[in-house]
Structure 1
Amino acid sequence: MGMAHPIMFDGGDPYLARVRAICLAFPGADEKVSHGRPTFFTTKVFLTYGGVVRGDHDPEPYRQSVLVLPDASERPALLGDDRFFDPAYVGPSGWVGLDLRACGSPDELDWQEVGELVDASYRLTAPARLVRALDDARPTGA
């Protein structure tokens, strides 16, 4: 097993509560703690809560952030927005981080924007049958 990773999140974190509610609403989604962080997955991870940037392993600056896989064509524009960052380890695979604290308090944040990012990441990582289940569950135009 190797060394256990320290837990890098607060179970009472209000940002995490909202992120969890968004993620677990997707078909077949589940949660596990990996490398000390909550991760949400189907067969593959579609969101990690909390990240770091390369060369800085202090977990605090981006502790309340989400790492998601955007459509490759969207990534440059997202990284041009100063709320987003290029996360260590998964950035080279096309992932981005969104610093939730930079978006506002949990009550004022645009959770629909977060939901759209999660939706894109889910669609790029989930098996086709689950993506179909997602589309079947959502009326067109919603």
Structure 2
Amino acid sequence: MAHPQMFDDDDPLLEQVRRVALALPGAQEKISHGRPAFFTTKVHCYFGGSVKADGRWHAHDQAVVLHLPPAETAALLQDPRCFIPAYLGPAGWIGLDLDERTDSRELAELIEESYRTVAPERLVARLDGAAR
């Protein structure tokens, strides 16, 4: 049974995430478990997530879920916008709620850092070459 779509394709926050995530070398988009997932050989970010608390599911429909280095994840957990996403949290992923006040530079830096954490070395080298 397929998951229902859990996002609005016209969401401006999704468009912001999509623009950054797909600009990275080799990045593509697919739908995984009803949500946009951005990947090369592995997923580097998702748009949207959820948390299970008190036996109930709580959606974070306008969020980015990232896989960052442990020290950065620990620091971000101090931010009230952040959450540990269901299923992915134990593997080191962190969610960041987005809204119209989201700093686009911060978002781009976090998506790039997540990409660097999971992308193949050859693609990270292409990214570094493009940055020069």
Equivalent in the alignment of 2:97: 99
Aligned to 2:51, the other structure's residue is in SS state coil
Q: Quick one: distance in 1 between partners of 2:109 and 2:58?
A: 28
Aligned to 1:96, the other structure's residue is in SS state strand
CA distance change for structure 1 residues 72 and 14 in 2, over 3 Å: closer, same or farther?
same
State which of 100, 105, 119 in structure 2 corresponds to 1:126.
119
State which of 8, 15, 18 in structure 1 corresponds to 2:16.
18
Structure 1 runs of 4+ aligned residues shifted over 4 Å read none
Aligned to 1:54, the other structure's residue is in SS state strand
Equivalent in the alignment of 1:32: 30
| Cα drift, residue 74 of structure 1 | 1.3
- Aligned partner of 2:89: which letter? G
| Cα drift, residue 75 of structure 1 | 1.3
Bigger shift: 43-52 or 75-84? 75-84
| Cα drift, residue 11 of structure 1 | 0.9
Structure 1 or 2: larger strand share? Answer: 2
Q: Quick one: distance in 1 between partners of 2:80 and 2:91?
A: 20
Q: Quick one: distance in 2 between partners of 1:54 and 1:44?
A: 24
TM-score by length of 1: 0.88
Q: Which runs of 5+ in 1 are unaligned?
A: none
Contact 2:14–2:47 (8 Å) recurs in 1: yes
Aligned to 1:57, the other structure's residue is in SS state strand
Contact 1:23–1:118 (8 Å) recurs in 2: yes
1:57 maps to 2:57: yes
Q: Between the two proteins, what is the percent identity of the paired residues?
A: 52
| Cα drift, residue 21 of structure 1 | 0.2
Equivalent in the alignment of 2:65: 67
| Cα drift, residue 77 of structure 1 | 1.2
| Cα drift, residue 76 of structure 1 | 1.3
Number of matched pairs: 130
TM-score by length of 2: 0.95
| Cα drift, residue 130 of structure 1 | 0.1
Query: How large is the Cα RMSD of the aligned pairs?
Result: 1.0
